[in-house]
Amino acid sequence: MSIPADSSRTNAIDWNEASKTFDRWLPYIQPVAEALLSLADLSEGHEILDVASGTGEPSLTIARRFGSTLQITAVDGAEAMVAIANEKLRREGLSGVTFQQMKAEALAFPSNQFDRVISRFGVMLFDDSLLGLKEMRRVLKEGGTLAISVWGEFHRIQSIHLIWELIMKRLPLKERPSLPKMADLGHTGKLEALLQSAGFRQFQIRPLPLLYRFDDFETYWTITTESGTLREPLDRFTPAEQEEIKEEALQCISSFVREGKIIMENQALLANAVK
Ligand SMILES: C[S@@+](CC[C@H](N)C(=O)[O-])C[C@H]1O[C@@H](n2cnc3c(N)ncnc32)[C@H](O)[C@@H]1O
């Protein structure tokens, strides 16, 4: 096992690096974009802010559907993510949307500017989720709607949790990283408390089960481990040890096979709130 010099570091994700392969996930999480659009109840004329827009979603879905009848401003902290989103914009010739690099914790917009503020799988990843959410509330108009998604409890994110557990079993207790940031707001009551602390008084939270279908084990392994949450913990091991972990995952996967496909359930949480 090759423990990094700084073994205390947590499983931080390099989003510029992750941008290279991030789009592989888009088909799996498109149902969340649809759910957010419906929660946000968009109308022509709306001014929308999409925070942590990554390689462009859900902004691009909105722009394809509404064109320039509404105005979308999308921001993300990672330069490479913004570059990919802008490239898609140029390629598709879409209008009504702009992408720029900006941290959620310091939104460079006046208070009360946007009719809707949305974010798909961003808030739990901010360096400071509370500050980011307070900023999102600040720029929302009175009576405007916030619509966000985060991941549910970690054990309910089956496709990541399975491999994570195999990795953790091999690490001595004191070298195990804390639970991945992606699941930070999944625990019952955490998102609710955060929304309250950010100043929201009226909100609803509901789970959304997402079924991920993988054609075969190789596809599952590649998509799940090439970047993101599992990459850093896996890189603590030698290539030979990583192969052993992969073999163990293959042994476990049979319980998820239905009609020749690997089917795993990952739970998202959807929240909508009014300012
Ligand atoms: C899981 S991706 C989601 C991207 C996109 N919303 C989607 O659903 O396809 C998370 C994104 O959050 C961004 N991010 C993380 N921390 C951030 C912060 N403090 N401010 C702005 N963006 C941040 C990352 O750069 C990354 O693009």
CA 182 to ligand 1: nearest atom: 1
Peptide bond connecting 58 to the previous residue in cis, omega within 30 degrees of 0 = yes
Q: Measured from the CB, is residue 120 less than 6 Å from ligand 1?
A: yes
- Structure confidence by residue, pLDDT tens digits, 178-206: 889 999 999 999 999 999 999 999 999 99
Check: CB of residue 134 under 8 Å from CB of residue 111. Answer: no
Task: Please give the backbone phi and psi of residue 93, each rounded to the nearest 5 degrees, phi first.
Answer: 60, 35
Any domain includes 150: yes
Roughly how many angstroms between the first and final C-alpha of the chain, as a whole number?
50
Q: Is residue 145 part of a domain?
A: yes
pLDDT of residue 11: 57
Q: Does 231 fall in a domain?
A: no
Q: What is the pLDDT of residues 113-127, one digit of tens each?
A: 999 999 999 999 999
pLDDT tens-place values along the chain, 275 residues long: 443 333 333 557 889 998 999 999 999 999 999 999 999 999 999 999 999 999 999 999 999 999 999 999 999 999 999 999 999 999 999 999 999 999 999 999 999 999 999 999 999 999 999 999 999 999 999 999 999 999 999 999 999 999 999 999 999 999 888 889 999 999 999 999 999 999 999 999 999 999 999 999 999 999 999 878 898 899 999 999 999 999 999 999 999 999 999 999 999 999 999 99
Report yes or no on 73 lying in a domain.
Answer: yes
For ligand 1, say whether the CB of 99 is within 6 Å of any of its atoms: no
Kindly give the distance from the C-alpha atom of residue 254 to the centroid of ligand 1, in angstroms, as a whole number.
33
Task: Show the tokens assigned to 207.
Answer: 């789970």
CA distance 77 to 51: 9
CATH of the domain at 23: 3.40.50.150
77 ligand 1 Cβ < 6 A:
yes
Residue minimizing CA distance to atom 16 of ligand 1: 126
Residue 106 falls within a domain, yes or no?
yes
Q: What is the full DSSP assignment across the chain?
A: ----S-TT------HHHHTTTGGGGHHHHHHHHHHHHHHHT--TT-EEEEES-TTTTTHHHHHHHHGGGSEEEEEES-HHHHHHHHHHHHHHT--SEEEEE--GGG--S-TT-EEEEEEES-GGGSSSHHHHHHHHHHTEEEEEEEEEEEE--GGGBHHHHHHHHHHHHHS-GGGPPPSPGGGTTTSTTHHHHHHHHTT--EEEEEEEEEEEEESSHHHHHHHHHSSSTTHHHHTTS-HHHHHHHHHHHHHHGGGGEETTEEEEEEEEEEEEEE-
* Total structural domains within the chain: 1
- Report phi then psi at 151, rounded to 5: -85, 150
Tokens of 126: 């901010």
Q: Which of 76, 184, 227, 229 for mutating ligand 1's site (highest number of atoms within 8 Å of CB)?
A: 76
Taking the centre of ligand 1 as the mean of its atom positions, its distance from the CA of residue 57, in whole angstroms, is 10
Please indicate, yes or no, if residue 5 is contained in any of the structural domains: no
Which of 16, 53, 79 most suits a substitution to test ligand 1, by most atoms within 8 Å of the C-beta? 53
User: Model pTM?
Assistant: 0.94
Residue 233 lies in a domain: no
Structure tokens at 164: 């994570």
251: in domain:
no
- State if residue 71 touches ligand 1 by the CB under 6 angstroms criterion: no
Distance in angstroms (rounded) separating the CA atoms of residues 181 and 122: 11
Query: How remote is the CA of residue 86 from the centroid of ligand 1, in Å?
Result: 15
Q: Ligand 1 pocket: which of 15, 103, 230 to mutate (most atoms <8 Å of CB)?
A: 15
* CB of 125 sitting under 6 A from ligand 1: yes
Domain that holds residue 118: 15-158+179-213+267-274
